[in-house]
Structure formats: C-alpha cells, structure tokens
Amino acid sequence: MFINNWYAACVASELTQAPVKVRMLGCDLVLFRDQAGVAHCLSDVCCHRGASLSAGKRRDDLLICPQHGWEFEGSGRCVRVPAGIKDPAAPPRKARVPSYPVEERYGLVFAFLGDLDEAQRPRLRNILPEYDDPDGWHVGILSRKKDVNYVRLAENYNDPCHVHYVHEFAKWLPKGVTIETLEQTDTYVKAFHAAWDAKGAISPDRGLMMEFDVIGMVSRNTNKQPGYPATVVVATVTPIDADNSQIFMLLLQPKPGADGKGGLSATDHQMLVTMTRDQVMDEDYAVLKGTKPSQAASPAEELLVETDVTLAQARKMTLDYAEKFGEVDAQALNALRDTHVRVLPCPGHRSEPGQWVHKTVPLKASTGSVVVAA
Ligand code: FES
Ligand SMILES: [Fe+2]
C-alpha cells in the first residue's frame, strides 16, 4: 500500500454533510461536506483522547468530536475547545488532525493520501471525458468491497484473456488478440488488444482498448465490437488494508441520438449494470480470492505470455511508484494497532513538522519518501 497517491474514497452522491468513516491504507479517515458542499477528508482519530470523529456531528463548516466537543475545520485545525481550557477559542497549537487534499472526479470523491505539497503532487488524468457528456452517455456507478489485495484487483482490469474464460457473457468473444502498446509513461499505459477476425487477420475495429494510470489506480477498458455501441468500463481500486480493497466501477454506454437511432436504451444499459453487479464482479472474485501469492507476484514465479504484457507493465509501474513515493509497512502498522495511533502523512506534516500529536505510519525501509515524525 503506497502513499502519495489519489485514492477513491466514496461515491460523491453518498457523501452528504453527515460524516462518513472510510478505512484506506490501513488507517481510518473521516469525510464530510461543509455548508458549501466542499468535501473534506481528515484523520478519523481525535487528537485529544482518540475518539472517532466520524461518530460526531457536522455543525456549520465544522466537525464536532463526539467525546468532548472539540471543533475541527476542514483544514484539520481545532478552532474551539468548549470545556477544559481557559479560552475556548484558543486551543493548543497541536490541536489538529491531518487533513488530506480532496478532488471529485467521475462521481467519485478522491483523497490524496501523502505529504507531497501541491506543486509536487501528481494530477488525476481525465481518463473519462464521456462522464462530462450526460446527454450522450448512460452512466452506472457500482461499489464493492472484496478481501483481495488491491494490486491483484487492478491487474484484473488489464488482463484481457481472463474475460473469455471467467465471464459467462464474454465466452462468445473472439479469443485471439494482438497487443499494441500505444503510449507509455512511468505511471500510464495505453494498449489496444485487437481481436483476430475469422481468417486470423487483425481487426483494428474489434477489440479492447486498455488504459491504466497508477495515479488514482484507475483502469479504463473500452470495448469495440463492430455494429455494437462502445462500452466503457472505468474501475479504480482502493486498498482498505493489504488484504481488502474497495472497488469503484463506472459503466458507460452511449444513449440514442436525437433521432432516436444508435446507442442503447436506459433499460438495456441498466441490464449491463445489474449483470456486472450481480454476476460479473462475483465471477472475478471467485477466482481472485484464491490466487497465490495474495499480493502481486514476482514475474519469476509466474509464466507470463504475450497477452500479459499490459498487466505486467501496470504491475511494474505500480511497484516502482510505491518504491519511489513510500509504501506503508502493513505488518509493522498492525503490530502497533492496539496500543498506538499512527496516521497517514499529509502535506501539513511536511510543511509544519513537529506540530502533530500522532506519529505517521511506518514505511518500508527501501522507500525514498520523506518520513516525517510527529
Ligand atoms: S476525544 Fe475528541 S474532544 Fe476529546
Ligand atoms: Fe473480469
């Protein structure tokens, strides 16, 4: 589980002004919206005596701790201590909890979990421009929790060949594919998996366009079949902890044009959403829950073939990013869980070190990130 990345925290429409608790990267976080509707993400652990802030209330733009009523802004700073100090409006300097940058994209709330300042922070790519065309596209949003490691789940969206074998609905699809990597950076890959036609020739109009971006752990699959409207699937995977993940999936299909032609009806689109939720995701899970090792494997312990090239690229760029920007030591964090509080580093840890009650999570020794003490 690596820090300094954007992770989808929840579905935007499900975040109201009531606080919501979300576990990401092994730590508890609280999300809430202020009066203007702006979403905030804070550590869920109160810096006073450790109560869960998500069990509190939002009042005006403030999050109120359920235990002694300390009042926190979206910045994480406590602005009022109602009892126990001489001047309630002058809390101690360390009266603050980490606050994480938030951005809403494609109907999801993403939080940046890390200490990079704004200038260094990677940007979420607009991998789904269709989302901004509601007249042109049906959009379905699904969210599921699975007890599968997040890299394993993310790889599944860059593995074209499992589709023919695992998924009932796809068994008719042509099985031969040829992969052409169209674009690749340190964090992004785009490849076209062209299907073969009946004569064994590559068909550029038929196949699967696959994209993966480490930033946000976002995969996009665009399925092209002659005579059938394009189907776009965007999936993002968030580690709850090393063994559990939250998947958010968007399913898009074109609406009929103004003349009523082309595209799909809302009913037909809803059939795809329902089938994905009730069948397709479970078909993947039935296999992935038993795959060994439970975390991403070394290539030396697998026999990868031609069509595994995109998932192998995606895995490598994910592991390289973790090495460069900091990976949580999940074992060490678990050993501390019952007796200590550890929080994910936020930009404030870097800009104002030494001003925090809770220490940051242990990171694996090989990582190059700045490790900031409380
Ligand atoms: S534990 Fe939060 S105000 Fe006391
Ligand atoms: Fe699948």
Per-residue pLDDT of 156-178, as tens digits, reads: 999 888 888 898 877 666 666 67
Instruction: With cut-offs at 50, 70 and 90, classify the pLDDT of residue 372.
Output: very low
For residues 85-108, average pLDDT? 96
How far, in Å, are 149, 204, 216, 293, 322 from residue 364 at the CA level? Answer: 18, 44, 21, 19, 10
Ligand 1 neighbourhood includes 145 CB (under 6 angstroms): no
Nearest residue (by CA) to ligand 1, atom 1, is 49
**Structure confidence at residue 199 (pLDDT):** 60
Q: How far, in Å, from the CA of 239 to the mean position of ligand 2?
A: 18
Cα 370–chain centre separation: 23
Q: So where are the chain's domains? A: 1-123+328-374, 129-321
pLDDT tens digits for 109-160?
Answer: 999 999 999 999 999 999 999 999 999 999 999 999 999 999 999 999 998 8
- Per-residue pLDDT tens digits for 193-223: 877 665 666 666 778 889 999 999 999 999 8
One-letter amino acid at 43 equals: S
C-alpha distance across the termini of the chain, in Å: 21
Ligand closest to the CA atom of residue 45: 1
Ligand 1 in reach of 237 Cβ (< 6 A) = no
What average pLDDT does this structure show over 285-312? 88
Phi, psi dihedrals of residue 260, rounded to the nearest 5°: 85, 0
Q: How far apart are CA 241 and CA 79, in angstroms?
A: 32
User: HEC string of 18-69?
Assistant: CCEEEEECCEEEEEEECCCCCEEEEECECCCCCCEHHHCEEECCEEECCCCC
- Residue 360: name the closest of 87, 43, 62, 65 by CA: 43
Assign domain 1-123+328-374 one CATH number from 3.30.200.20, 2.60.40.420, 1.20.1260.10, 2.102.10.10.
2.102.10.10
Give the CATH class of 129-321: alpha beta
Share of the chain above pLDDT 70, in %: 93
Residue nearest to atom 3 of ligand 1 (CA): 68
Torsions phi, psi for 351 (to 5 deg) = -80, -30
Band of pLDDT at residue 267, cut at 50, 70 and 90: very high
Q: What angle do CA 94, 95, 99 make, to 5 degrees?
A: 95
Average pLDDT over the chain reads 91
Count of CB atoms within 10 A of residue 143's CB? 15
Residues 236, 214: Cα–Cα separation, whole Å: 10
pLDDT higher for 172 or 19? 19
